[in-house]
Amino acid sequence: MKKIDISSNINEIKFPLCIMNASGVLCSTERELSNLLDSNSGGVVTKSCTYKPRKGNDLPRYFEWDGGSINSMGLPNFGIKFYLDFLEKKKINKPIFLSISGCSSEENYFLIQKANESSKVTAIELNLSCPNLLEKEDMLGYKFHKFIENIFKFNKKPLGIKFPPYFQDIHIKNVAFILNQFPIFFVTCINSLPNGLFVDIDKESVVIQPKKGFGGIGGSIIKPFALANIHKFYTYLRKDISIIGCGGISSGRDIFEHILCGASVVQIGTQFMKEGISVFERLEKELIFILEKKNYSSLNNFRGKLKNIQ
């Protein structure tokens, strides 16, 4: 039987397999990060960090049901120093993405500068799409134009941006038009769908405490939006800008769909939270099984090759 290769790469960054965690899920503490480093995920991304540690929002702030999850964590993290110090102590054998999510442009410049000083950080995933900040802390993913120009005046690390979902073709076209002017490595799409609401009919109540129950939606229910954003970015971005697909993956089949729409690497959020660290091994097996059945030997056989109906 043919050897099936599900490794991938983002420019010169090599992933032993194309499956990794999504930022935010089980990647905040030393124990969680060590677990990920020891797992067979293809790469590791850390919880989005800020300059100072943050406690995040009040509990309960995460809830899941069959079709998805809602969260309003509020960016709880131990501060950038914690993550850089942790990485410094560790032996690294796969790509490490430091996710940063400053609450202002200035904070993000500072965090990017710090990440540039660490040899353990393979790449920066700049999170411009946290859905759960206070009203006054605006989401940069919807107005990031000038900001990105300044970043590339000093940044030397591979850098990608995590975006919120966009719902109109023209918005993705405009974002891609800007990104295409910069030496950006990748985009990660999508973050959770902002401002969702889940209702508990028995209690006639919302299910999370912060922001009167409103929060970011993840899981299977958002997959069609993830696929749409991935495929549109794939269409409009320069071909050397890779796409990391995130949103609604719980099976090998879902990964196949993300890659068919143009993703090079995929991230697992809600399903990782539900299933734990063994999810990576299961998904790897399921993806290989699909490729075997289709007689494909690598992701290059089908990446971005979604067909239209003639």
Binding site residues, ligand RRO, CB under 6 A: 24, 48, 71-75, 101, 127, 129-132, 191-192, 216
> Could you tell me the smallest distance in angstroms from the CB atom of residue 226 to ligand RRO?
13
Tell me the C-alpha distance between 287 and 253, whole Å.
7
Give catalytic status of residue 18 as yes or no: no
| Backbone phi, psi, residue 307, to 5° | -95, 150
**Quick one: angle between helices 145-154 and 105-116, nearest 10?**
30
> Could you tell me the smallest distance in angstroms from the CB atom of residue 59 to ligand RRO?
13
Catalytic site residue from 27, 103, 130, 261: 130
73 or 279: CB nearest ligand RRO: 73
> Could you tell me the smallest distance in angstroms from the CB atom of residue 188 to ligand RRO?
10
48 or 118: CB nearest ligand RRO: 48
> Could you tell me the smallest distance in angstroms from the CB atom of residue 18 to ligand RRO?
21
Catalytic site residue from 39, 69, 99, 129: 129
What contacts 176, CB < 8 A, 6 or more positions away?
Answer: 232, 233, 236, 237
23 or 155: CB nearest ligand RRO: 23
215 or 304: CB nearest ligand RRO: 215
Amino acid (1-letter code) at residue 121: V
16 or 56: CB nearest ligand RRO: 56
Tell me the C-alpha distance between 299 and 130, whole Å.
30
> Could you tell me the smallest distance in angstroms from the CB atom of residue 86 to ligand RRO?
18
Shortest CA distance to 33 belongs to which of 46, 50, 42? 46
What contacts 224, CB < 8 A, 6 or more positions away?
Answer: 248
Asked whether the beta carbons of 275 and 25 are under 8 A apart, the reply is no
Give catalytic status of residue 27 as yes or no: no
Please list the active-site residues. Answer: 129-130
